[in-house]
Amino acid sequence: MSETKESHQPQQHGLKNRHVQLIAIGGTIGTGLFMGAGNSIHFAGPSILLVYLIIGFFMFVMMRAIGELLYADPTQHTFITFITKYMGNRAGFFARWSYWLTIVFMGMAELTAVAKYIQFWLPDLPSWLIQVVILLLLTCVNLVTVALYGETEFWFAMIKIVAILALIVTGIIMALTGFKTTVGDVAFSNVWHHFSLFPNGVGNFINAFQMVMFAFVGMEFIGMTTAETENPRAVLPKAINQIPWRILFFYLGALFIIMTIYPWQKIPANQSPFVMVFQLAGIKWAAALVNFVVLTSAASALNSVLFSASRNFYALAYQSKASFIKPFRKMSHAKLPVRAILFTSLMVAFSAIISLIPTITNAFSFVTSASTDLFLMIYVLILIAYMRYRQSNDYMSDGFLVIAPKVLVPMAIVFFVFVFITLFFNPESRVPALGSTIWLIVFGLIAMRQPKTISLAK
C-alpha cells in the first residue's frame, strides 16, 4: 500500500448546503432522460422502470462508498486519490489520467451538444463560434468564485427540476380528468396494459442497462463539491442519502407519467418523449421548451466538467513527478486552481476545432463513446479501493458507513463488470467497447511501468 498523504493548499469553502443539494439533484438528472428515454422505453417497455431501479441502487452503493471515503478524509479534492492511496501508484496512475481524460472528452461532447441546441434557434450561427463563446462564459464562472459556480449550477438544476415537475403534474391531471389524445386515452393503466417483462426479448432488456447506465454517469461529481463546502461532514451524508428518493421521483416518476400519457407500445425510439408528451398536452412550443431544458442540462454538465476535471488535474499535479505538470499545483489568492481550470478549458476547446474538420468528426464520436465506457472501469477501481480502505488503519468505524458493505460492494463490482460485458453484444456499442478495452490494455501496460509507490510533493 502506498502512502499518499497530501499537503494540498486549502481550497475555497464557497459552496453552501443549498448549492450542494441542488447540484446533487441536477447530477442525477442527465440529458439522457430528456432525449434518450424514448429509446430505452422502446427497448424494454415498462420494464425500463426496473432497469432504472437496479442501476440506481448500485450507483447509490458506489456513492455511499465514495461518501464514506470522503467523510473519513474530506480534504481530498477528488475521490480518485483514494485509488492511489489504497491500491498503489500504478492503479492510481491509470485511474487519475483515464478519469481526467474521460471527463475532458465528456466536456467536449457536452460543448458540441450545447452548440447543436443553440442552433435550433440560430441555425446560421457557426458551431465553433457558439462553442467558443459558451466555453469562455463558463470558464469565467469557474474562475471567479466557487460560490458563483454553485449558484450557476443551482439554477441549471432548478430548470431541470421544474421541467420534470411540470411533466409529472401535467400527466397526473390528464390521467385524473380522463384526457384523450391523438394516440389514445391518458390513464395510469397504460403502463401495465399488456405488460411483459421482456416485451422485445431478453436481449433488448439487457441492452437497456447500458443505455440507462450512461444516463447516470457524472453522479459522482457531487463528491468533489463537498470538499469546497463550509462543513463537508454535515453536507455530504445529506446529499448522498437523498439520491435514492431523487431517482425514484425524478427518473421513475417521469418515465411512469410518460408511459401514462403515451402508450409505451407506440413511443418511437428516435424522438424525445418529453417533446411528444407536452405536444399531446396542447403545448405547441413543446419542442422549443424541451430544447431549452436540454440546453441548460448540457450547459450544466459542461460547467460540472470544468469544475470536476480541474480539481482532478490539480490533484493529479500533486501525484505526478513530471516537471511539466508541477505549475498546475499553484492555487490563486482566492484558493482556486486557476491554472488547472484554464488548462482543462483549453483541452475542451479542441471540440470547436473538431467541428471545423468533418473528416475527424466520426473519430471524435468514437473516442467520446469509448471514453464514456471507461467510467465503468473507474467505478470498479474505486469500489476495490474502498474495500482496501476498510482493511486499513484509516478506517473510521464511526464515520458515514456503507450499509452491508461485505455484500453490497462486491455485488456492485460484479454489476458494473456485467454492464461493461453487455456493451460487446450491442452492435452500436461494440466498437467503442473495444476501444476502451484497448485503452485498458495499452494504458494499463504504461501504468505498470510506473513506480509502485510515490512520495507526494510537499
Q: CA 388 to CA 72: how far, in whole Å?
A: 14
Q: Which three cell numbers stand for residue 168?
A: 409529472
Q: CA 283 to CA 268: how far, in whole Å?
A: 19
Residue 26 has pLDDT above 70, yes or no: no
**pLDDT tier, 135 (very low <50, low <70, confident <90, very high otherwise):** very high
Query: Residue 56 contacts by C-beta under 8 Å, 6 or more apart in sequence?
Result: 216, 243, 244, 247, 248, 251
Neighbours of 240 (CB within 10 A): 24
CA distances from 163 to 55, 291, 301, 389 (A): 23, 11, 17, 40
**Mean pLDDT confidence for 327-348:** 86
Are the C-beta atoms of residues 277 and 171 closer than 8 Å to each other? Answer: yes
pLDDT of residue 388: 96
Provide the residue type at 448 as one letter.
M
How distant is the alpha carbon of residue 355 from its chain centre? 23
Are the C-beta atoms of residues 5 and 456 closer than 8 Å to each other? Answer: yes
268: left (phi over 0), alpha (psi -120 to 50) or beta: beta
- Among residues 302, 297, 298, the alpha carbon closest in space to that of 157 is found at 297
Residue 235 has pLDDT above 70, yes or no: yes
Provide the residue type at 282 as one letter.
G
360-394 pLDDT, tens digit per residue, is 666 666 766 777 788 999 999 999 999 999 999 99
DSSP string, 3-65: -----PPPPP--B-HHHHHHHHHHHH--HHHHHHHHHHHHHHGGGHHHHHHHHHHHHHHHHHH
Higher pLDDT pick, 1 / 77: 77
Rounded to the nearest 5 degrees, what angle is found at the Cα of 237, between the Cα atoms of 303 and 332?
A: 40
Q: CA 364 to CA 369: how far, in whole Å?
A: 9
Neighbours of 266 (CB within 10 A): 10
pLDDT of residue 227: 62
**Mean pLDDT confidence for 172-188:** 91
Main-chain phi, psi angles of 196, to 5 degrees: -145, 135
Q: CA 272 to CA 268: how far, in whole Å?
A: 9
Owner of C-alpha cell 466498437: 431
Question: How many residues comprise the chain?
Answer: 458
**pLDDT tier, 36 (very low <50, low <70, confident <90, very high otherwise):** confident
pLDDT of residue 160: 87
pLDDT of residue 168: 92
pLDDT of residue 1: 42
Provide the residue type at 307 as one letter.
F
Query: Residue 430 contacts by C-beta under 8 Å, 6 or more apart in sequence?
Result: 423, 424
pLDDT of residue 458: 40
Query: Which residues are paired to 229 by β-bridges?
Result: 15
pLDDT of residue 25: 65
Q: CA 94 to CA 88: how far, in whole Å?
A: 10
pLDDT of residue 438: 92
pLDDT of residue 407: 97
**pLDDT tier, 10 (very low <50, low <70, confident <90, very high otherwise):** very low
**pLDDT tier, 335 (very low <50, low <70, confident <90, very high otherwise):** confident
pLDDT of residue 215: 79
**pLDDT tier, 343 (very low <50, low <70, confident <90, very high otherwise):** very high
**Mean pLDDT confidence for 137-152:** 86
pLDDT of residue 39: 83
Helix 286-318 / helix 273-280 crossing angle, nearest 10 deg: 150
pLDDT of residue 457: 43
**pLDDT tier, 194 (very low <50, low <70, confident <90, very high otherwise):** confident
pLDDT of residue 395: 94
| 3-class state of residue 404 by DSSP | coil
pLDDT of residue 361: 64
264-313 pLDDT, tens digit per residue, is 888 887 778 888 888 888 888 888 988 999 899 888 888 888 888 888 88
Residue 216 has pLDDT above 90, yes or no: no
Higher pLDDT pick, 119 / 2: 119
- As assigned by CATH, the class of the 17-448 domain is mainly alpha
pLDDT of residue 385: 97
Owner of C-alpha cell 407500445: 265
Domain boundaries, the chain: 17-448
**Mean pLDDT confidence for 335-364:** 82
Q: CA 443 to CA 451: how far, in whole Å?
A: 15
Model-level pTM? 0.86
